[in-house]
Structures are given as structure tokens and as C-alpha cells.
Amino acid sequence: SDAFTYDPGFTSTASCESKITFIDGDKGILLHRGYPIDQLAEQSSFLETCYLLLHGELPSASAFEQFETTITRHTMLHEQFDRFFSGFRRDAHPMAIMTGAVGALSAFYHDSLDIQDEKQREISAHRLIAKMPTIAARAFKYSVGQPFVYPKNDLSYSENFLRMCFAVPAEDYVPNPVLTKAMDRIFILHADHEQNASTSTVRLAGSSGANPFACIAAGIACLWGPSHGGANEEALNMLKEIGTVDKIPEFIQGVKDRKYKLMGFGHRVYKNYDPRAKVMQTTCHEVLSAVGDPNDPLLQVARELERIALSDEYFVSRKLYPNIDFYSGITLSAMGFPTTMFTVLFALARTVGWIAQWKEMIEDPSQKIGRPRQLYTGSAQRDFVPISGRA
């Protein structure tokens, strides 16, 4: 018989077994391959975390050197690829460009279509991690009407990315070390988050045997939504709209009256402080002290909003705590990124999580094509009526 469990939003359905990321939402714990996120954010680098997520263990010095060299070798894009960018409208949202451009990588790397070949899977993972900064930086440069900057491979992953975004050709651009560190940390904080909407999308797309570039493009499309990766953009817009601390009570009342949500608050899994939000808050202070205004009115609004929300019955009873997006918007904005780039940076960092989860799924013999069932609530069977006989 057709007896299904009805679970809208998959709040109580596990879709897979995974060894990559562990979350305890009640305690506010996030571990990658067993390592706490705050230790990785403090002591690791993004590329090392990529290796960890992909391979399951931290690399030895020589394994890391080889991994770094491999990633560095894959950062270039084919010159033909640049024509994609010029095909978009000047004011195209960079996420629209990302969705199209990353999917199009499969048109350049036909060998990646052989997903049963372990070597090809690994090369595709390397290509994606290596090329995402180049594609993301070009989406940004295109939106501001500046010429593309080519990767410079003697720089670190994050330095290279900042240079491709902010250097103007012929100028000697050296990223501020505080910003490089912040960028790397922001990438680590976004690297993976188990079976969230975009990762589940990647797995579902991949379960049919689709190629990895197509699957990651599907993940990017899902991430774009304001309830997911688009929330940091929304959170900053909200802080700007509130503007000053004295407007907060009125704003909070609007949330309670359910006119709108407090963006950057709440999480499906964390019913405690998001451990990433703590690191993000520290990073925010470091960046503002280095390049912004530590007394930035938006930061004041954010702090006061957080203080009120953490003591207000409405938020406390619903276990609504700040999530990673609450402080990332202010930080990225101080670093020079327009709001339209926020989700792009999230996509860049999450690519390693997506591809690690995709690989794990392909290599798991128990995985089948994803095919949820439904509870049908439409019309019962009836006979077709010719158009002349319809009311």
C-alpha cells in the first residue's frame, strides 16, 4: 500500500549517511570530520579545511603542498569562457552569472561527465575549488565595469581572490593581511553545513548521475534564495533600513506582529547560538578596526538588536539566535564587497562542501536516485470534456 511519511521541509527525514559534518543544534556544536569549527577557523586555512572535507583527514605537510600546487594549477579559465560574462547584461546579478557560468564548465571539461572514474571525480573537485574564485571575481569585475584580473599563483587562495576582485590592472595591489585573514576565515565558516537545502539539492541532482558541474550549478541556484544563502544580503539591508538604534523597538514590534522576519536570526537546526556566528562577530570587529569604523552605526544597530532579541520573550521562547549571516553582511561590506556579492562568496566557499558531499554520495553503494513521494490532494479521476462542451 502507499503508506508514506509526510514530512514537508524534511524536518525529520535523514536522506543519507555522512561522515563529513556533525551538527548538534541544541548545544550549538559544529564539527568537520570531528574538528570543531572554531578551532579550524582559528588554526587552519581554507585550503587545508578543503583537504580535510574532501579526504577525511588533515594533510601532512607534503600532502598539503601537493594539494596547494594542484589547486593553484587549475585556477585559470579558458579564454573562451570569458565570452559568457560579456553575454550578460551589465547589471546582471552576479548570482545569475554564477549559476550559468559554473554549469557551463561541463561544456569545457567533457571528461568530467565520466563520474564513475575516481580520478575524474577528483580532478573535477580540484577544478571547482580552484576556478570558483576566478569565476566569482570575474562576475564582480563585470558588474563594476572593470577589466578582469588574472590569477596570480604565488599568492594564497584568499589573497589571490581579493587581488582578482580589487586590483586594478597595472596597479600594485597588496591585500591588507587583516582582510586576507578575514576572507579565509569567512570561507572556512561557510565550507560545509551537512544536509542544508543547497547541499541536498546537489545530492539530489547528483543522484541521477548528472555531472559535478551541473550539480554544483543546481546548488548555487538553491543557495540564492533569501531563506538560505541570500539571508546575509537581506540582513544587511535590514540593518540599513533600521538605520539607528532608536528605531529598533518599532522594528521588533513589526517582527512580533509578523509583518517581517528578523533576518540573520533563527535556524532550522541550531536552537542555540550558531557557533559560526561567534567567530563571525570577532572577525567583524577585526575588519572594522582595520579598515572600517569600529563605531559604525550599523554595528551599533546589530549589537543592540542582538542584545534585545536575546532577552526578549518572543525570540527566547522560539530559540531564535543570531546565525552566521547576522554579522557577515557588515563585515563583507566593510571589506569592499557590494551586497550582491555576498551570496557569491558563500557559494565560492560552500563549493568544497557540495563537492565533498557529492563524492561521498557517488562512492556510497547504498545511494539510489532521490525520488520523494507525495500525498496527492488533487481531483479524482474524471472524463475529458471537449472544449466546446466546457462552461
**Residues engaged in binding ligand CMC (CB under 6 A):** 196, 227-229, 231, 255, 261-268, 318, 320, 323-325
Catalytic hit among 126, 190, 193, 267: 267
21 touches 30 (CB < 8 A): yes
d(CA 165, CA 173): 10
Residue closer to ligand CMC (CB basis): 36 or 226 = 226
> Is 151 or 353 the residue whose CB approaches ligand CMC more closely?
353
Q: Do 101 and 135 meet the contact criterion of CB atoms below 8 Å apart? A: yes
Map residue 21 onto helix, strand or coil. strand
CB of 268 to ligand CMC, least distance (A): 4
Can you say how many angstroms the Cα of residue 235 is from the centroid of all Cα atoms in its chain? 15
Radius of gyration of the chain (CA): 22
* Least spacing, CB of residue 260 vs ligand CMC, in Å: 8
Looking at beta carbons only, is 159 or 325 nearer to ligand CMC? Answer: 325
Reply yes or no on whether 274 is catalytic.
Answer: no
User: How far out from the chain centre does Cα 278 lie?
Assistant: 18
Q: At what angle do helices 177-189 and 46-55 cross, to 10 degrees?
A: 20
Whole-angstrom Cα distance, residue 109 to residue 10? 34
Residue of minimal Cβ distance to ligand CMC = 266
Q: Say if CB 376 and CB 218 are below 8 A apart.
A: no
Q: How far apart are the first and last CA of the chain?
A: 37
d(CA 212, CA 268): 27
Listing DSSP states for 201-269 in one string gives HHHHHHTTT--HHHHHHHHHHHHTSTTTTTHHHHHHHHHHHH-SGGGHHHHHHHHHTTSS--TTB--SS
Q: Which is closer to ligand CMC, CB of 13 or CB of 227?
A: 227
**Among residues 32 and 141, whose Cβ is nearest to ligand CMC?**
32
Q: Which is nearer to ligand CMC, 49 or 211 (CB)?
A: 49
Alpha-carbon torsion (139, 348, 298, 174), positive or negative: negative
Specify whether 267 is catalytic.
yes
CA-CA distance, 166 to 152, in Å (whole number)?
Answer: 13
Which positions are annotated as active-site residues?
267, 325
